[in-house]
Structure 1
Amino acid sequence: MVKVFIAYASLSGNTEEVAHLIGVELTKAGHSVDYYRIWDGASPPDPSDYNVLFLGSYTWGKGATPDEVKDFVADIGYKPEPVYVFGTGDTQFGGDDLFCKAAVKLARFYNSPAEPLKIEQSPRGSQEEKVREWVRRSLSLNP
């Protein structure tokens, strides 16, 4: 069984919803899942206690990664492997160039083995299958 750590920052609840959909899929696959909602000043668990990290963030302003996510990355102090990144965003603010830009930046920083999952606002409806498929692809990269 793989121990999975899902850390996420959520402002509107959309990224939290994606995190829990990911967790459901991982649990169905027989993995152990722990969640951590990133808050300013909160000490994160030690990622070295886990086999895999899933990291989620909303995108702030003009494509920025939220400060609490930057603090989380700094608090960890190293780059665990592997890290799979997911994000939520809204194309009406900045179009495709800024859509889920924080997730793109984080995936690049962590040299993620998979493209980041990008969800338009809420994962409900047709995007739920997109989340499930992304998790299945991620699992195939890290059995």
Structure 2
Amino acid sequence: MLKLMRAIICFLSYSGNTEEVAELIKEQLVASGYIVDMYMIGFGVVPDLSTYDKLFFGTFTWDRGSTPDEMKDFVREIGYKPDNVYVFGSGDTQFGGNDLFCGAVDKLRKFYNSTYEGLKIEQSPRGSQEKTVTNWIEGVLKNGKSKNIRT
């Protein structure tokens, strides 16, 4: 019997940019045969993450490279460090330049010891950045190594 693969996308979004990335990731995963759940951080009880094959955590970057408090609370609520975490996020280089761009993605990756590089999107994933999201997901599904991906 073939086991269906399950993924969850847990994301934090104020402006809608990170949510747009999450939706694109969902589309790609569903097209690849995954059962996908979405969880907007800060709304409702944190799901049991141990029931998923892949965990996608998405956040924007706040205050010159910082991780938003709601994401920190989410991490505390999980209470353990799963080893199947993939991190993505949106940011804006006008607030701190390249050095601080999507700093929350880097911090979450490091915290979870994620073996796959984070996806970093400048503001909205529309246009050419949609292909960046697609390429990242294809890499995650192949479980290969990559460099930080951003446009």
TM over 0.5: yes
Q: Pairwise CA RMSD of aligned residues?
A: 1.1
Structure 1 equivalent of residue 16 of structure 2 = 13
Deviations 1:43-64 (CA, angstroms, capped at 9, x unpaired): 2101001111000000000111
- Structure 1 unaligned residues grouped into runs of 5+: none
Choose the corresponding residue for 2:55, options 44, 53, 56.
53
Query: 2:149: which partner in 1?
Result: none
The equivalent of 1:39 in structure 2 is: 42
Deviation at 1:81, TM superposition (A): 2.0
How far apart in 2 are the matches of 1:74 and 1:34? 21
In the alignment of these two chains, the number of paired residues is 141
* Worse overlay, 125-134 or 106-115: 106-115
Aligned to 2:113: 111
Aligned pairs for 1:1-143 (under 5 A) are 1-39=4-42, 42-141=44-143
Give a deviation string over 1:87-112, Cα, whole Å, max 9, x none. 10000110001100000100111111
Shift of 1:122: 0.1
Identity rate of aligned residues, in percent?
57
- For 1:112 and 1:140, how far apart are their aligned partners in 2? 15
* Contact 1:43 1:75 survives alignment (8 Å): no
Look up the SS of the partner of 2:88 in the other structure.
strand
Moved over 3 A (4+): none
Distance 2:65 2:34 in 1: 33
